[in-house]
Amino acid sequence: MGVDGPGPDYCKHCMAARRTHEKCDGCDEPAILPENMAAAELYIATRTQWRRGDKGQLRGMDYAGVLAAMQLRGVKKRKRAALFEQLQALEQATVEAQQELLERHDDSD
């Protein structure tokens, strides 16, 4: 068990003590990895920016709203493209997960 709790800096002290940048297996890995934290925060911040179909199903995000959110949150221009790509992965996964749920619901009728 490592000394650092789960979070963006997990295993930090442990790595310093071991003089390495390799994370160990003993520290609690956060549910959201540090490299995905900014995208996860943006995903939550843009939860009102979904476009919906006529039955309320999620279709995708309003990218103008996403861009506005990035600007308002002070995301640097050079970081926006990569962050947007990560957000799109989350968007895609969300739409697919909802699609699966809806299909399962249709089958049970």
Binding residues for Zn ion (CB under 5 A): 2, 11, 14, 24, 27
Smallest separation (angstroms) from Zn ion to the CB of 26: 5
Q: How far apart are CA 92 and CA 109, in angstroms?
A: 26
Strand segments, DSSP code E, in the chain are 50-52, 58-61
CA distance 26 to 99: 37
Q: Which residue is nearest to Zn ion (CB)?
A: 14
Closest approach of Zn ion to the CB of residue 39, in Å: 24
Q: CB of 7: closest distance to Zn ion in angstroms?
A: 13
